[in-house]
Amino acid sequence: MTGKLIATAVYLGCCFWLSWKAWKETGSNADYMLAGRQAGPFVMAMSYGATFISTSAIIGFGGAAAMFGFSVLWLTVLNIGVGVFIAMVFFGRRTRRMGLALDSHTFPELLGRRYDSRFIQGFSGSIIFLFIPVYAAAVLIGIARLAEVSLGVPYVAALLSVTAILALYVITGGIKAVMYTDAFQGTLMVLMMLMLVGYTYWMLGGVIPAHETLSDMAPLMPEKLRAGGMLGWTQGTVTGSPLWLVIYTTIVYGVGVGVLAQPQLAVRYMTVPSDRELHRAVLFGGVFILLMTGVAFTVGALSNAVFFQKFGKIAIQMGGGNVDKIIPAYVETMMPGWFSGFFLLAMMAAAMSTMSGQYHTGGTALGHDIITRTLGRKQQGLAANRIGVVITILASLVWAWVLPGSVIARATAFFFGLCAATFLPAYSLGLYWRGMTKTGAKVSMLGGFAASMFWLLFIHEKEAAAIGLCRWLTGKATLVADAVPGSALHLLQWVDPNVVALPLSFLLAAGVSTATRPVAREHLDLCYSRC
């Protein structure tokens, strides 16, 4: 325990030194929001990756992989192909150039200025400010649970301590503090994940024996999961079954595509001085994502074999029915004692790097996009952004206090899907299509948001049943709860909202734009002047 505390103190000391360095270099609002547009490729890529990958991926989705097996690795494929390559090459270059041409400092401001609409900027900022605390809370829950298991720290004390540390450097140092600490924390995360996967395969006798052992354990799949369509941890699921829909529509599709419209990631493109840094960042980012999600999902699935050999139990039993506790329990019980302390630091790094980006994005959405721009309080500037960060941090802490267990992966998927349905059509088409109009963007954003929330509250069983609004209004858990079991209508309960909301949002964007007045030619020339 003493070693863990010393290692934690050293880690925090490094973070505070980097934060102090960033604070000394932050002299303007542009520095606070975009790091002066001078970030290098390694710092940008590691900050992007560390913000993208957090305890939600390693602990939350790692725990999900312990239940669903190697099927979850398809998310890694999309994370790299979509979240790094397509994001940086096709979205990053145009976002940086258009952001520079329009002097945009935040993701909502980029959308607002592309369509010359104060409403779009204010609406985008409001969605981010209102919902990013839920995502941040899921990440905060992950690191608090790990500290509870690894250090014996009470859950509430862990929540308060991590929040206080993050508040100190995000409020003072802005995005420079976020990116500097992200690069350091991302490097630490890579080292720990390499050790984790290597030791796991060693315990199981190598790569091939490990996978063979897990394949042979298919008969041990819990009956509840088998009834939902699971065949085994390496065998996958029955196509079209409820769990097949959960894995491929919510986890793989919802998160894998939703990354393109993540505001805390999109702003990273505008922090580099040229396209060259973005292209170089693809390699750093791709390797980082592979070592993070690929390792987490692989170890999560293989933990079933390790636990069974040692204790005669599968992972979900070792986690006490809570998937968010599986990876912490695996590290504490199966890894060497010295490793658990370092892994705690890596997970703290994963959580803090992601939450710092979330706090900064939510805070600037409130301070810059709502208070300063939409409400016209231009004199607020840097002070408004810092106030916004404080409020975002407090909102995240409240959500972390009240959200139930086993929520990390689901809350992450919810935020990714909501952002995709609300922002992706207006964002992507706005970057490449001159015919995308202000009205088309407004209708697409409002329609995508409404469709996503309706499906979440009234159709998707997991959230609709937990929130209870549908039952309160109709007396049923979901609107399709009493449909014939096994019918297409009944299966809609396990179809992710984004499967319906995102295509609808794209159709609204394209259809309305072709039928409404185009944006002024002079404004479009300005938008695309650097593209």
pLDDT per residue over 222-274, tens digit each? 999 999 999 999 999 999 899 999 899 888 888 888 888 888 888 888 878 88
CB 368 within 8 A of CB 129: no
Q: What local confidence, expressed as pLDDT, does residue 30 receive?
A: 58
Highest mean pLDDT among 41-45, 375-379, 517-521: 517-521
Print the domain residue range for 272: 2-460+495-527
CA atoms within 13 A on the CB side of 159: 18
Count CB neighbours of 525 within 10 A: 11
Across the chain, mean pLDDT equals 84
Mean pLDDT of 472-492: 86
Q: Is the residue at 473 inside a domain?
A: no
Q: Which residues of 48-82 are buried (b: 16+ CB within 10 A; e: fewer)?
A: bbbbbbbbbbbbbbbbbbbbbbbbbbbbbebbbeb
CATH code, domain carrying 191: 1.20.1730.10
Phi and psi at residue 230, to the nearest 5°: -75, 135
Name the one residue in this structure whose structure tokens are 């972390």: 400
Say if residue 27's pLDDT is above 70: no
> Does a structural domain hold residue 211?
yes
pLDDT at 362 over 60: yes
Q: Rounded mean pLDDT of 455-481?
A: 86
| E strand or H helix at 237 | strand 236-237
In a domain, 100, yes or no: yes
pLDDT at residue 506 in the model: 96
Res 184 pLDDT > 90: no
Domain contains 466: no
Whole-model pTM: value is 0.82
Region 384-413: what's the mean pLDDT?
A: 77
Residue 488 falls inside a structural domain: no
3-state DSSP of 186-233: HHHHHHHHHHHHHHHHHHCCCHHHHHHHHHHCHHHCCHHHHHCCEEEC
pLDDT at residue 38 tops 80? no
Please say if the pLDDT value at position 111 is more than 90.
yes
How buried is 133 (Cβ within 10 angstroms: 0-12 exposed, 13-18 middle, 19+ buried)? Answer: buried
Share of the chain above pLDDT 90, in %: 33
Residue pair 141/400 in contact (Cβ under 8 Å)? The answer is: yes
Could you tell me if residue 484 is inside a domain?
no
pLDDT at 303: 94
CA-CA distance, 497 to 250, in Å (whole number)? 8
Q: Which of 204-218, 368-382, 484-498 has the highest mean pLDDT?
A: 204-218
- The stretch 118-144 carries a mean pLDDT of 87
Separation of CA 327 from chain center:
18
| Number of structural domains found in the chain | 1
- Assess if residue 480 is contained within a domain: no
CA distance 527 to 519: 11
In a domain, 397, yes or no: yes
**pLDDT value at residue 171:** 67
